[in-house]
Amino acid sequence: MIADSDRGIAQMLSDPDLVGDTLLFALCLRHVLDRVSDDDGLRVRVKTLDGLLLEVGEQATGDNPGKAFYWARRAVERDLPRYDPESTQGLMRCCAEMVRKGGQCSKPAVTVWIDREPATGESVWIGYCRRHLTSEVEALRDERQRLWNEHGKPVPPPNRGGVLTRYFTCDWDALWQRVCPVREPLDGAKEATPPKPALRVVRGE
Ligand SMILES: [Zn+2]
């Protein structure tokens, strides 16, 4: 594991994609890696991926080894490059178009599912209320699902995760495999969101 020397703490803090536990993980990992060359004990402790995760987890949480290791695994797992449905808008509300009134029905949904574009796999959560969940709607849902299967279940490029790879160089496939053996990370990473504007002090007259 190597920290990218050109991309420091300031960049991490101004990266809108690097937040929460993953940001804390990145800051602590950077801190550990910066000290490794001067600290023989640390160098031995972080020789393996598990050792490194444990060290970073302990730095970040101050918890016992079991909890610290679990925390670090979860922080890396949350950054797995993946494609998630873009919208959660339809998750709880009916998305049926109201023909006369215009707009969406928006009554509480009785059932929700992930609707995918058959050709690209781009997806959104959609839901329908009891009244609008007709047999036509169900038939269309099943037909789109069938077409997506027929197209070979395409998945769009990742729209989440992979942010840590901007700052650290390592065998990411091995690390992701270690923290999350059941999910296959997608190739590539989410496109970077432009950095937050730097804060400036404006002096009044
Ligand atoms: Zn409805």
- pLDDT tens digit string along 73-124? 999 999 999 898 876 665 688 989 988 888 889 899 999 999 999 999 999 8
Span of 14-18, 169-173, 188-192, 195-199 with lowest mean pLDDT:
195-199
pLDDT tens-digit profile of 41-75? 999 999 998 999 999 999 999 989 999 999 999 99
CA of 44 to the centre of ligand 1 (A): 61
CA of 115 to the centre of ligand 1 (A): 17
pLDDT tens-digit profile of 143-166? 999 999 999 999 998 888 999 999
The H or E element spanning position 44 is helix 40-45
* Strand residue runs (E) in the chain: 2-3, 111-116, 123-128, 168-169
CA 32 and chain centroid, separation: 23
**pTM for this prediction:** 0.74
Q: Which residues pair with 197 in a beta bridge?
A: none
CA of 187 to the centre of ligand 1 (A): 38
β-pairing verdict for 123-128 and 168-169: unpaired
Residue, of 23 and 180, whose pLDDT is higher: 23
Angle at 188 between CA 185 and CA 56, to 5 degrees: 60
CA 78 and chain centroid, separation: 5
CA of 132 to the centre of ligand 1 (A): 5
15 in helix, strand or coil? coil
β-pairing verdict for 111-116 and 123-128: antiparallel
CA of 120 to the centre of ligand 1 (A): 27
Nearest to 85 by CA among 55, 127, 35, 49: 127
What is the C-alpha separation between 29 and 41, in angstroms, rounded?
A: 16
CA of 139 to the centre of ligand 1 (A): 17
Mean pLDDT of the chain: 88
| Domain range annotation of the chain | 2-82+158-179, 89-150
CA of 97 to the centre of ligand 1 (A): 8
CA of 128 to the centre of ligand 1 (A): 5
